Amino acid sequence: MFPFEKQLTPGRLQIGRRGGLSSEDPGQTCKLGLRIPTHDHGVFGRLGQGRQSDRQTDSMASIADYYEGKNVLITGATGFMGKVLVEKLLRSCPGVRALYILVRPKAGQTMQERVSNMMKCKLFDRVREDDPDFHKKIVAISSELMQPGLAISPEDVEKLCSCINIVFHCAATIRFDEPLKHAVQLNVMATQQLLSLAQRMQQLEAFIHVSTAYANCNRHHIDEVIYPPPVQPKKLIDSLEWMDDSIVRDITPRLIGDRPNTYTYTKALAECVVQQESSRLNIGIIRPSIVGASWQEPFPGWIDNFNGPSGVFIAAGKGILRTMRANNDAVADLIPVDTVVNLTLAVGWYTAVHRPKSAMVYNCTTGGINPFHWGEIEHHVMSTFKRNPLEQAFRRPNANITSNYLINQYWILVSHKFPALLYDLYLRLSGQKPQMMRIFNRLHKAIGLLEYFSNQDWEWNSENMSMLLSQLTPEDKKTFNFDVRQLNWPEYIENYCIGTKKYVLNEDMSDIPAARQHLRKLRNIRYTFNTLLLVFVWRVFIARSQMARNIWSFVVNLCFKFLSYFRASSTLTA
């Protein structure tokens, strides 16, 4: 059952078109408690929109000048991208008036605790240096995006409606295995609710939605347009409302069709929902590809999660992952998080200042401009982890990618399952709980979900990104750099891997000599193991089979003759 069903009572707070809080529903309210915005807009629905307002904005102003004095609303600010966005805004747009961030309590922490913990994070070190009081600009608003009205209090709604100038919508569930209902609630319906709220913001100049380059991954060539949705979002929402969870689970594969997961499917629907509002709001849509560690800012290699390639790199660095299905020659469309954030801020500025007639889409990708391939990534990841090993590696880092299913299965058996079995046996014998097989099962599940993206490539048109770059002043090109032609991949991948070590695993760089020593120990264990295996094979075959004995004596004879010949010829030369 959807949470909305339980909580919405007649006359409950609705975000209406006319501004202010009302218990009547001026739009079309679906039974889930969501108002599906209609296209007929009343006077108040139009008032206060950046597109219609007479506010004059200096189109030549720099990006930082534009954000001066602005109130910015950010969803998903506690997430990977959101945090970098908050940091960059505070650091490079010091004139920004306030950042309103929608945060929910989570994992036993209150909203305030979460925000203060977030601000203590190393990511904010540079901002802290520049302005120790930076936290005063952050206004946390309690919000659970899956609740009716986003669970924002009426006072907060009023505050937001009266002061927000620009919205960045980053929140989403990015899990590939998210049940469809949940993914729809968060990625589609919450977006719809936020758009309804945005329509009531009297000072709003731009609404920036963060989508994904893979929203249309069922196509090979992807332009900067919003494609027709796989289904009308309203129809799907209406159907999911009465369907039992088990029915939804059963029909999910049919619904998502040629998309690999509910994530890409619901992100495509979200784009459609956003587009429906484009006649009323100034909208920009950013579509990043695979967002990776930071390239330059606030420092190279910052990353704080296991998503996408990061988990794969760590697993390979720890010597756990030895094989994965990926195409060596396919383009690895990674994009650094700071690049995405710089583009996002530039899009916010451009959308507000230039007010394009329709929603503009920005494919934020690297493949078409500065391509790099999975085979090259594998090489640089391995080389970095050999030089800068992770602590307590399971085996020496040596991962190989292959697009061949059978070869991959063979290596899974030999290099994953067999060592896991042996290690678990060792743990059992030493009175500990076996765990390696469980780790491998989780790893196989995770990489199974990623393989769709690592075995093929896509062509994204990124003209809007190039156009936007050409609109920036030389100063902004430096401060809000998203020119991926300058990206030096080997250097970036090295910093990325070191970033996973320092910021995800919290390992100290000064412990690298000990980690190297551990790898040497693993190498010696391997040599010993291989020797023992050889002796075992010798015992089994040589002792029991005449043919094996004959082959063995033939080989020994050959070696002996070769040695004698070598000794004789070296005596003659002397």
Ligand X SMILES: CCCCCCCCCCCCCCCCCC(=O)SCCNC(=O)CCNC(=O)[C@H](O)C(C)(C)COP(=O)(O)OP(=O)(O)OC[C@H]1O[C@@H](n2cnc3c(N)ncnc32)[C@H](O)[C@@H]1OP(=O)(O)O
Contact between 290 and ligand NDP (CB under 6 A)?
Answer: yes
User: Which range in 55-63, 167-175, 194-202, 532-540 contacts ligand NDP by CB under 6 A?
Assistant: 167-175
Across-strand partners of 343?
A: none
> Which of 257, 204, 280, 255 shows the shortest CA–CA distance to 27?
280
Give the one entry of ligand NDP, ligand X, none that residue 374 binds, where binding means its C-beta sits below a cut-off of 5 to 8 angstroms depending on kind: ligand X
User: Which range in 75-83, 432-440, 494-502, 562-570 contacts ligand NDP by CB under 6 A?
Assistant: 75-83
User: Which range in 141-149, 236-244, 478-486, 565-573 contacts ligand NDP by CB under 6 A?
Assistant: 141-149
Q: Count the alpha carbons within 13 Å of 106 in the hemisphere toward its beta carbon.
A: 13
Give the one entry of ligand X, ligand NDP, none that residue 309 binds, where binding means its C-beta sits below a cut-off of 5 to 8 angstroms depending on kind: ligand X
Which pairing describes strands 138-142 and 98-103: parallel, antiparallel, or unpaired?
parallel
What DSSP string describes 241-282?
HHS-HHHHHHHHHHHHTTSSSHHHHHHHHHHHHHHHTTTTS-
Binding mask 336-365 for ligand NDP (x = CB under 6 A): ------------------------------
Residue nearest to ligand X according to CB distances in the complex: 311
Site residue total, ligand NDP (CB under 6 A) = 27
Q: Is 499 helix (H, G, I), strand (E, B) or coil?
A: helix
Across-strand partners of 363?
A: 287
Contact with ligand NDP (CB under 6 A): which of 27, 33, 37, 76? 76
Query: Which residue type, as a one-letter code, is found at position 528?
Result: T
| Between 316 and 334, CB nearer to ligand NDP | 334
**Shortest approach of ligand X to residue 385 CB, angstroms?**
8
| Between 64 and 99, CB nearer to ligand NDP | 99
Contact between 144 and ligand NDP (CB under 6 A)?
Answer: yes
d(CA 355, CA 484): 25
Give the one entry of ligand X, ligand NDP, none that residue 172 binds, where binding means its C-beta sits below a cut-off of 5 to 8 angstroms depending on kind: ligand NDP
**Shortest approach of ligand X to residue 464 CB, angstroms?**
18
Give the one entry of ligand X, ligand NDP, none that residue 86 binds, where binding means its C-beta sits below a cut-off of 5 to 8 angstroms depending on kind: none
Q: Contact at 8 Å (CB) between 186 and 171?
A: yes
How much of the chain is helix, strand and coil, in % rounded to 5? 55, 10, 35
d(CA 87, CA 137): 11
Binding mask 308-337 for ligand NDP (x = CB under 6 A): x-----------------------------
d(CA 190, CA 184): 8
Give the one entry of ligand X, ligand NDP, none that residue 306 binds, where binding means its C-beta sits below a cut-off of 5 to 8 angstroms depending on kind: ligand X
| Between 172 and 195, CB nearer to ligand NDP | 172
Contact between 146 and ligand NDP (CB under 6 A)?
Answer: yes
| Between 215 and 412, CB nearer to ligand NDP | 215
Inter-helix orientation angle 309-317/374-387, to 10°: 40
User: Which range in 165-173, 243-251, 480-488, 491-499 contacts ligand NDP by CB under 6 A?
Assistant: 165-173
CA 2 to chain CA mean position, Å: 26
Q: Contact at 8 Å (CB) between 87 and 123?
A: yes
d(CA 170, CA 303): 17
**Shortest approach of ligand X to residue 532 CB, angstroms?**
29
Task: Give ∠ CA 305-307-312 in degrees, rounded to 5.
Answer: 105
**Shortest approach of ligand X to residue 515 CB, angstroms?**
17
Contact between 212 and ligand NDP (CB under 6 A)?
Answer: yes
Within residues 245-274, the interface with ligand NDP by CB under 6 A covers 267
Inter-helix orientation angle 154-163/190-199, to 10°: 60
Residues contacting residue 228 through CB under 8 Å, at least 6 positions apart = 272
| Between 172 and 324, CB nearer to ligand NDP | 172
Task: Give ∠ CA 429-431-434 in degrees, rounded to 5.
Answer: 80
Q: Is 350 helix (H, G, I), strand (E, B) or coil?
A: helix
Judged by the rule CB under 6 A, the positions of this chain that interact with ligand X are: 174-177, 212, 214, 290, 306-309, 311-312, 314-316, 324, 326, 374, 377-378, 381-382, 399, 401, 442, 446, 449-450, 453-454
CA-to-CA separations, 412 to 18, 300, 407, 542, in angstroms, rounded: 60, 33, 9, 30
| Between 337 and 498, CB nearer to ligand NDP | 337
Give the one entry of ligand NDP, ligand X, none that residue 171 binds, where binding means its C-beta sits below a cut-off of 5 to 8 angstroms depending on kind: ligand NDP
d(CA 21, CA 6): 21
Give the one entry of ligand NDP, ligand X, none that residue 106 binds, where binding means its C-beta sits below a cut-off of 5 to 8 angstroms depending on kind: ligand NDP
Q: Contact at 8 Å (CB) between 193 and 14?
A: no
Contact between 291 and ligand NDP (CB under 6 A)?
Answer: yes
| Between 79 and 419, CB nearer to ligand NDP | 79
Give the one entry of ligand X, ligand NDP, none that residue 450 binds, where binding means its C-beta sits below a cut-off of 5 to 8 angstroms depending on kind: ligand X
Binding site for ligand NDP (CB under 6 A): 76-82, 104, 106, 143-146, 170-174, 186, 210, 212, 267, 288, 290-291, 307-308
